[in-house]
Amino acid sequence: MEAKERKPIITLRDIRKNFFIGTPNELHVLKGINLDVYEGEFVAIVGQSGSGKSTLMNIIGALDRPTSGEYTLDGVDVISAKDSELSGIRNQKIGFVFQTYNLISKTNAIRNVEMPMLYGGVPRKARAERAEELLTLVGMEERMKHLPEELSGGQKQRVAIARAMANDPAIILADEPTGALDSATGRLVMDIFHKLHKEQGKTIVLITHSPELAEETERMITLKDGEIISERKGASS
């Protein structure tokens, strides 16, 4: 299905982000970003270090607010939302996958996956069943009771992907998810994203500095110096 036939789930209009506002060394990190991401689309935002892609990811993920502009996420006006509403958006609408995994070290895999559901008020039995189902989906059914320190990097990232799916979010936001992995393990992780996209219709936004990984998605958006400089179809469009 072509992206234009879908409904936008992310709409950014003239998003700007400045740091050190009003000082002589004021930084203009994002300079008027306009972007639509459509339901069920797999999009890559690619750029070198300093291009603004991490700042953009933080804004898309409701982890930070822009200096100015408009942002609608799955029908919600993110700009005018209160902090408490943003917490709910992050818990229910977005699944985060980070380069550094961000797992809780003293808690086993299944409990890590349950954590977003715990905050979301899901009953214990339902949490456990959902966590087990998701860990099986990412091929971690044999490692459910293992602590993060007992897992390899690729296994930790698979647990992190299962956790991102816990509350069945509208969007998965993956920030350099293969950055700390060797190429073979990174391939396994990318295959999981493709599976979630194709089989479950998940909207996935991949932040990466790797043009090769970006090429695998439906659409590549290239950022440079805080601006979108190009946009083109990827291999899976």
CATH of the domain at 201: 3.40.50.300
- What is the rounded distance in angstroms from the CA atom of residue 62 to the CA atom of residue 66? 9
H or E, element range at 214: helix 211-215
For residue 177, being part of any structural domain is answered with yes
82 within a domain of the structure (yes/no): no
pLDDT of the residue at 237: 65
pLDDT digits (tens, 9 = 90+) for 210-226: 888 999 999 999 999 99
Whole-prediction pTM value? 0.91
State the helix-helix crossing angle for 109-119 and 124-137, rounded to 10 degrees. Answer: 130
Is pLDDT at 32 greater than 70 in this prediction?
A: yes
- Average pLDDT rounded to a whole number, residues 56-72: 95
- Asked if residue 125 is part of any domain, the answer here is yes
13 within some domain: no
Which domain range does residue 145 map to?
A: 42-65+90-232
Beta carbons of 48 and 21 less than 8 angstroms apart: no
Q: Is the pLDDT of residue 4 over 70?
A: no
Examine residue 2 and state whether it is found in any structural domain, yes or no: no
Asked, for residue 216, whether it belongs to a domain, the answer is yes
On whether residue 221 sits in a domain, the answer given is yes
More confident residue, 1 or 50: 50
Number of domains forming the structure of the chain? 1
Compute the average pLDDT of residues 114-123: 92
